[in-house]
Structure 1
Amino acid sequence: MFDSTKRSLRELLQELRKGTIQLPEFQRGWVWKNEQIKELIASVIRQYPIGAVMLLEAGGEVRFQTRPVEGLHFQGQTPDPELLILDGQQRLTSMFQATLMGSAAKTENERKQKVERWYYLDMNRLLNNPDLLEEAVIDVPADRIRPDVAGRKGLDLSTSELEYELQLFPLGRIYEASSWQTGYVKHWKETEQFSEAFEVYTAFQDKVIAPFCEYQLPVITLAKSSRREAVCQVFEKVNTGGVKLNAFELVTASYAADGFDLRADWYGRKARDGDEAIEGRYQRFLAGREHGKTDGVQRLGKILKAVRETDFLQCVALLSTRQRRELDQQNSQLPIEKCTGISCKRATILDLPLSEYQQWADQAELGFFRAGRFLIQQGYYRSKDLPYVTQLVPLAAILSSLGDDYNAAATTQKVEQWYWCGVLGELYGGAIETRFGKDLPEVIHWIEGKGVPSTVYDADFRPSRLDTMRTRNSAAYKGLYTLLLREQAKDFRTGRPIDDSIFYEDAIDIHHVFPAVWCEAQGIDTDQANSILNKTPLTARTNRVIGGAAPSIYLPKLEKAYLKHQGKEGDEVGNGRTEMDALLHSHSIHPEHLRRDAFEAFYEQRRRDLLELISRVIGKTIAVEGTQSAGEEGLPQLDEDDETTAALEEIDA
Structure 2
Amino acid sequence: MSAGRQRAAECHTATPGSVSTSTGENMALTIRKILENVQSGTIRIPAFQRGFVWDAERVAYLMDSIYKGYPFGALILWRTKEKLVHERQLGPFQLPEVEPDYPIDYVLDGQQRLTSIFGVFQTELTAVEDAPWTGIYFDMSAEADLQESQFICPSSEDIDLARHFPIGTFFDVTAYRKATADLPADRAELIDKVQSVFKEATIPTQEVATEDRARVAIVFERVNRLGVELDTFQLLSAWTWSEDFDLQERIRGLAEDVAPHGFGDISQDTNLILRCCAAVVAEDASPAALMGLKGADVRARFDEIENGVKGAIDFLRKNLRVHRLINLPYSALLVPLAVFFATPGSKGVDVSTAQRESLERWFWKACFSRRFSAGVLRNLKRDIDEMISLRKNGASALDKIAASTDAEYFADQSFTIGTVHTKTLILLLANKDPKSFVSGAGVDLGPVLQAYNREEFHHLMPRSFLKKKGISTSDINSLANFAIISAQDNKRLGGVAPSVYKKKMDVGSVDAILEAALCPHSLFDDDFHTFIEARARTLADYANKKMA
Counterpart residue type for residue 220 of structure 2: F
Partner of residue 154 from structure 2, selected from 139, 151, 158: 139
**1:588 touches 1:610 (CA, 8 Å); kept in 2?**
yes
CA distance in 1, matches of 2:126, 2:39: 15
Gap change, CA 1:198 and 1:505, over 3 Å in 2: closer
Q: 390-399 vs 78-87, which deviates more?
A: 78-87
* Counterpart for residue 190 of structure 2: 203
CA–CA distance in structure 1, aligned partners of residues 178 and 255 of structure 2: 65
- The one of 279, 287, 305 equivalent to 1:346 is 287
1:129 and 1:106 mapped to 2: Cα distance?
35
Q: Say whether residues 1:56 and 2:78 are aligned partners.
A: yes
Greater RCO (CA < 8 Å, at least 6 residues apart) = 2
CA distance in 2, matches of 1:100, 1:201: 22
CA contact (8 A) 1:56 1:222 kept: yes
Give the alignment of 1:60-71 within 5 angstroms: 65-67=86-88, 69-71=90-92
1:614 aligns with 2:548: no
Distance 1:48 1:457, change over 3 A: closer
CA contact (8 A) 2:336 2:383 kept: yes
Q: Answer yes or no: is the 8 Å Cα contact 2:355–2:390 preserved in 1.
A: no
Change in Cα spacing, 1:49 to 1:269, as seen in structure 2 (3 Å) is same
Give the AA of the match of 2:168: G
Q: Are 2:196 and 1:213 aligned? A: no
| 3-state SS of 1:456 partner | coil
Q: Is the 8 A contact 1:506 1:541 kept in 2?
A: no
Task: Give the deviation of 1:540 after TM superposition.
Answer: 1.9
Matches of 1:183 and 1:435, distance apart in 2: 65
TM-align CA RMSD: 3.2
Question: 1:483-503 CA distances to partner (integer Å, 9 max, x unpaired)?
Answer: 212221122235442223465
Cα shift at 1:235 = 2.3
Residue in structure 2 matched with residue 630 of structure 1 by the alignment: none
Contact 1:10/1:214 (8 A) holds in 2:
no
Instruction: State how far apart, in whole Å, the 1-side matches of 2:105 and 2:452 are.
Output: 58
Relative to structure 2, which stretch is displaced further, 239-248 or 379-388? 239-248
Does the CA contact (< 8 Å) of 1:379 and 1:483 recur in 2?
no
SS in 1 for 2:154: strand
Shift of 1:535: 0.8
CA–CA distance in structure 2, aligned partners of residues 594 and 124 of structure 1: 82
Aligned residue number for residue 532 of structure 1: 479
Give the structure 2 partner of residue 172 of structure 1: 168
Q: Which runs of 5+ in 1 are unaligned?
A: 108-113, 147-153, 158-162, 189-196, 280-296, 322-341, 560-575, 621-653
Residue 509 of structure 2 is matched in structure 1 by 579
Q: Please list the CA deviations of residues 532-583 of structure 1 after superposition, one character each: whole Å capped at 9, or x if unmatched.
A: 2211111123333445422123333x43xxxxxxxxxxxxxxxx32234433
Q: Deviations over 1:412-445 (max 9, x none)?
A: 2322222222112321211222222222332453
Does residue 204 of structure 2 align to residue 230 of structure 1? no
Contact 2:213 2:292 (C-alpha < 8 Å) held by counterparts: yes
Find 2:66's aligned residue among 25, 28, 44: 44
Query: Cα gap change, 1:12/1:605 in structure 2, threshold over 3 Å: closer, same or farther?
Result: same
Query: What per-residue deviation string (whole Å, max 9, x for no partner) do you get for residues 458-491 of structure 1?
Result: 2232343222332346534312211212221122
1:266 matched residue in structure 2: 248
Q: CA deviation at 1:25?
A: 2.3
The C-alpha deviation readout for 1:576-605, integer Å capped at 9, x for no partner, is 3223443333212234x2332133443343
Q: Which moved more, 1:536-545 or 1:174-183?
A: 174-183
Q: Deviations over 1:119-147 (max 9, x none)?
A: 24244324x4546853642333xxxx43x
Kindly provide the amino acid, as one letter, of the partner of residue 519 in structure 2: I
- 2: CA distance between counterparts of 1:398 and 1:504? 25
Secondary structure of the equivalent of 1:54? strand
Q: Which residue of 2 aligns with 1:396?
A: 338
Per-residue deviation, 1:16: 1.2
Checking the alignment, whether the CA contact within 8 Å between 2:386 and 2:396 is kept in structure 1 is: yes
- Alpha-carbon distance, 1:393 to partner: 0.6
> Partners of 1:317 and 1:468 in 2: how far apart?
38
CA contact (8 A) 2:93 2:126 kept: no
Shift of 1:454: 4.7
Contact 1:370-1:396 within 8 A present in 2 as well: yes
The answer to whether the 8 Å contact 1:17/1:72 transfers is: no
Check if 1:468 corresponds to 2:464: no
C-alpha separation between the residues in 2 aligned to 1:7 and 1:270? 43
Aligned residue number for residue 132 of structure 2: 116
| Normalised TM-score (structure 2) | 0.84
- Normalised by the size of structure 1, how large is the TM-score? 0.71
Worse overlay, 409-418 or 364-373: 409-418
Q: How does 1:460-539 map to 2 (within 5 A)?
A: 460-472=404-416, 474-499=419-444, 500-501=446-447, 508-524=455-471, 528-539=475-486
Question: Which AA in structure 1 matches 2:80?
Answer: A
Is the contact between residue 98 and residue 105 of structure 1 (CA under 8 Å) also seen in structure 2?
Answer: no
The alpha carbon displacement at 1:200 in A equals: 1.2
1:93 aligns with 2:115: yes
Cα distance in 1, alignment partners of residues 195 and 170 from structure 2: 6
SS in 2 for 1:175: coil
Alignment of 1:127-166 (within 5 A): 128-130=143-145, 134=149, 136-140=151-155, 145-146=156-157, 154-155=158-159, 163=161, 166=162
1:376–1:459: structure 2 CA closer, same or farther, 3 Å change rule?
Answer: same
